[in-house]
A = this chain, B = another copy of it.
Amino acid sequence: MSGSIAARTGQPILVGVDGGGTRCRARARWRDGTPIGECITGTANILAGVEAARDNIVAAVEGALVEGGLGHADLGRCLVGLGLAGANIPDLSERFLAADLPFARTALEMDAWIACRGAHPDGNGAIAILGTGTAYVVQTGGVFVTVGGWGFHVGDQGSGAWLGHMALRQAALAHDALVEPTGLTDALLAQFDGKPDRIVTFCKTALPRDYGSFAPLVFERAAAGDAIADGILAEATRDIELALNRLVALGAARISLLGGLAPLYAERLSPEISAHIAPPAGDALDGALILAATLLPAEAPA
């Protein structure tokens, strides 16, 4: 290993970083694609704190170098492509880039940008993130557009949190005989001892991920023919298709479905929109590495 490193003395190191709210991932490689290493550290949410995010990002990059036999002294050779939530907020991104970064050069984009670029390396395509929340982004002709992504209170139709919340509301309606009870509403009410006031207590402090914990049950019951579960998913799928059709209208040649609910929704989409769905070519770290490669000097030796 040390021989190959020696042979690359002076060569730039490309590093992709995906900085999320719970963890920061870094992947380092040589310009020709040869892997160096990967590392995962803690939160890199600049919305929660620029300094802590910086520290976890630097630690992740250094960890990836160390895995490949390099180290702290090589940070100054790194061309870093960073995807961070909050990077679209000018004040935050300026403060972050003004912080003391030890890298040769740094390119910063939104987390959704690197996810979309990783899925579609040629820069033409869209992603639909279908998880606890939902978000849609499209890249085409160098232009990056987001659709939705307003969170639990204002958007997130069809998200895991939305599904769980709708299911709980139906359970309360079933309790009051306002809708016909089904296996879904029976199962949900049983989890709250048959008492809607316990659902009320749960909802007072429930976070989106808490609501989302009921989403798998909705899919399970729908597959078993449950009328209420099917109704909830029919509405959710309509809302998701609205967004997917908008991505097509915005010029997306292909759409990749990401997130935990992606395979479950993929089966429910209409043939028309399914024709636009394609698996992602790579992940967000691949997108971050594409971003890092834009920092390479044109005349640098390969």
Q: List 6 extra interface pairs beyond A148-B172, A178-B242, CB under 8 A.
A: A147-B177, A148-B178, A150-B196, A153-B203, A153-B206, A154-B169
B199 pairs with A154, CB closer than 8 A:
yes
Determine how close the nearest CB of chain B comes to the CB of A161; give it in whole angstroms: 12
Within 8 A of B (CB), among A247-272: 249
In angstroms, Cα B239 to Cα A176, docked, is: 13
In angstroms, Cα B176 to Cα A199, docked, is: 33
Residues of B close to A168: CB separation below 8 A: 154
Within 8 A of B (CB), among A199-215: 199-200, 203-204, 206
Residues of B close to A173: CB separation below 8 A: 155, 242
Q: Is A151 an interface residue (CB 8 A)?
A: yes
Residues of B close to A204: CB separation below 8 A: 153
Q: What is the 8 Å Cβ interface bit string for chain A, positions 150-185, against chain B (1 contact, 0 not)?
A: 110111010000000100110011001111000000
Within 8 A of B (CB), among A137-157: 147-148, 150-151, 153-155, 157
Determine how close the nearest CB of chain B comes to the CB of A57; give it in whole angstroms: 25
B177 pairs with A155, CB closer than 8 A:
no
User: Which residue of chain B has the shortest Cβ distance to A242 in the bound complex?
Assistant: B178
Give this chain's copy count: 2
Residues of B close to A200: CB separation below 8 A: 150-151, 153-154
Q: Is A243 an interface residue (CB 8 A)?
A: yes
B154 pairs with A176, CB closer than 8 A:
no
Determine how close the nearest CB of chain B comes to the CB of A205; give it in whole angstroms: 10
Known: A154-B199, A200-B153. A147 touches B169 (CB 8 A): no
In angstroms, Cα B148 to Cα A109, docked, is: 47
Q: Is A246 an interface residue (CB 8 A)?
A: yes
Residues of B close to A172: CB separation below 8 A: 148, 150, 154-155
Determine how close the nearest CB of chain B comes to the CB of A9; give it in whole angstroms: 47
Residues of B close to A246: CB separation below 8 A: 176-178
Residues of B close to A178: CB separation below 8 A: 147-148, 242-243, 246
User: Which residue of chain B has the shortest Cβ distance to A156 in the bound complex?
Assistant: B169
Determine how close the nearest CB of chain B comes to the CB of A169; give it in whole angstroms: 6
Which of A151, A157, A178, A203 has the most chain B CB atoms closer than 10 A to its own CB?
A178
A169 pairs with B155, CB closer than 8 A:
yes
User: Which residue of chain B has the shortest Cβ distance to A171 in the bound complex?
Assistant: B154
User: Which residue of chain B has the shortest Cβ distance to A177 in the bound complex?
Assistant: B246
Determine how close the nearest CB of chain B comes to the CB of A148; give it in whole angstroms: 6
Residues of B close to A169: CB separation below 8 A: 154-155, 157
Q: Which 5 A-B pairs have the closest CB atoms?
A: A153-B203, A147-B176, A154-B172, A178-B242, A150-B172
B150 pairs with A199, CB closer than 8 A:
yes
